[in-house]
Copies of this chain bind each other. A is one copy, B any other.
């Protein structure tokens, strides 16, 4: 019953090139399905069904699930089985606050350290965000925005912090994609403009402005998505 829906989700299968570990492809496939909204929160992940959909055995599926569970994308829910995790409002806010605390620092450092190539990478993510906003492609926009923030982090030259921020973005994006109808065309455009301002500061090698604009961006998000931050109304 669910098997068919999973086969739809993983219609392409995974790259069966023998020299690449299945675990990696399976991990990427499931994570991608979650981040793109093809696997919804609270959906059960049955090892055998996943294995059948992907034409592999349970073993590599288990290892992929182990990692995803450790990253909190999926988790137990009751006694048996793993499910796509649904972030609570509190978790969403905590993760947002975490990035709010870290990203201004990364923007400042990126203004000092970003290479020309890295600036081009960041600009690419920005352009992609514009295109997705125009097409009202929310999932695509979220990925572009995620790439933007992730690449700013990378340009700041601190791998642990950059990884932390990116992983947080992935999880909040999952929340926004599934729960918030809040990400509409106007919101995307505003975010893109704020991103553009940050990139401008990076290009000008102006760390103070970059830091300030990152703070402004976070505050703007808080105001525009205020409903998500209101003290635990429901759920």
Contacts and interface: CB of A to CB of B under 8 A. Distances in A.
Contacts of A223: none
A164 interface: yes
Contacts of A105: 101
A9 interface: no
A96 to B, nearest CB: 10
**Chain A: interface residue count, which band?**
20 to 34
A56 to B, nearest CB: 16
Contact of A160 (B23, B63, B66, B95): B95
Given A67-B70, A70-B70, A91-B159, A101 B102 contact: yes
Interface in A18-77: 23, 62-63, 66-67, 70-71
Contacts of A157: 94
Quick one: copies of this chain in the complex? 2
A89 to B, nearest CB: 14
A132 to B, nearest CB: 27
A228 interface: no
B66 A98 contact: no
B158 A97 contact: yes
A190 interface: no
Given A91-B159, A159-B91, A98 B164 contact: yes
Interface of A: 23, 62-63, 66-67, 70-71, 91, 94-95, 97-98, 101-102, 105, 157-161, 164, 168
9 contacts: A62-B63, A63-B63, A67-B67, A94-B158, A94-B161, A98-B158, A98-B161, A101-B105, A160-B168
Given A63-B66, A95-B160, A98-B164, 13 more contacts: A23-B66, A62-B63, A66-B66, A70-B71, A91-B159, A94-B160, A97-B158, A98-B158, A98-B160, A98-B161, A101-B105, A101-B161, A160-B164
